[in-house]
Amino acid sequence: MKYVYLATAGSTDTDEMRRCLQRAVGYDDEYLTPDLFVSAAERLVVLQAQALDVAAAIAAFERLRDAKTARRSDNYEAAVANLQPSYERMLELVKGEQPLVTEARVGQFDYWVHDLLRRSFGVADVAGRLDVLDIRCDRGTRRYGDVPAGVVWTIPESWGKCGVYMKGEPGTTFTFHEYPRSFVAETSGEGAGSDAVPP
């Protein structure tokens, strides 16, 4: 309802609109009717892609594609077919050689969360304060009390799927960079990175 209100009112607060849609679509539980679920999820994919948050856009598409509720909608197949080419382009981007850059902002609850698409990452252009970096993976975790800009963090493949939780002062903004393997290989011998290792 809040998303509909913001959209109808012509709001430019796309961050809040994305949050509204994410809450509506949910993570595990599904509360909306099939048609509403498809409509909300489809719009969420578009907004995440427009915000250049590739990880969130990919996750939103996969949520739409795999949700049982969505499959009961008459609009399901058309929505997935419409978004599939963009999804495939994003997957190719992840496999490519260019850094993936996401504009990040610490929210009102003092943290920013991101599902990693690559094994190496770093932060830059910090405006505010970042206090803690949590790396949480299927088979390994690590917490750092310092989040310096310009450091490349590399996570072992053996840790499995990973995400980062960045805690800091609400309103802090920064750019989050995910690097291809080639970038890490070129810089790892020059002291540019700090490897995350299993505890």
**Stretch 42-53: mean pLDDT, rounded?**
90
Nearest CA-CA partner of 40 in 52, 22, 62: 22
C-alpha–C-alpha distance, residues 172 and 183, integer Å:
27
pLDDT of 191 above 60: no
User: Which spans in 103-187 are helix H?
Assistant: 181-187
Domains (range + CATH), the chain: 2-95 (no CATH), 100-195 (2.60.120)
Residue 94: alpha-carbon gap to chain centroid: 12
Buried b (16+ CB within 10 A) or exposed e, 150-188: ebbbbbeeebeebebebbbeeebebebbbbbeebbeeee
pLDDT of 47 above 50: yes
Residue pLDDT, tens place only, 137-174: 999 889 998 888 888 999 998 999 999 999 999 999 99
* pTM beyond 0.85: no
Q: Which helix (H) or strand (E) holds 78?
A: helix 76-95
C-alpha–C-alpha distance, residues 164 and 43, integer Å:
25
C-alpha–C-alpha distance, residues 120 and 181, integer Å:
8
CB distance 116 to 55 below 8 Å: yes
Residue pLDDT, tens place only, 56-95: 999 999 999 999 999 999 999 999 999 999 999 999 999 9
CB distance 156 to 197 below 8 Å: yes
Q: What's the mean per-residue pLDDT of the chain?
A: 86
- What region, left, alpha or beta, does residue 10 occupy, with left being phi > 0 and alpha being psi -120 to 50 degrees? left
C-alpha–C-alpha distance, residues 74 and 175, integer Å:
39
C-alpha–C-alpha distance, residues 140 and 198, integer Å:
6
- Output the pLDDT for position 119: 93
- Output the pLDDT for position 3: 82
Which residue shows structure tokens 């920064």? 174
C-alpha–C-alpha distance, residues 119 and 99, integer Å:
12
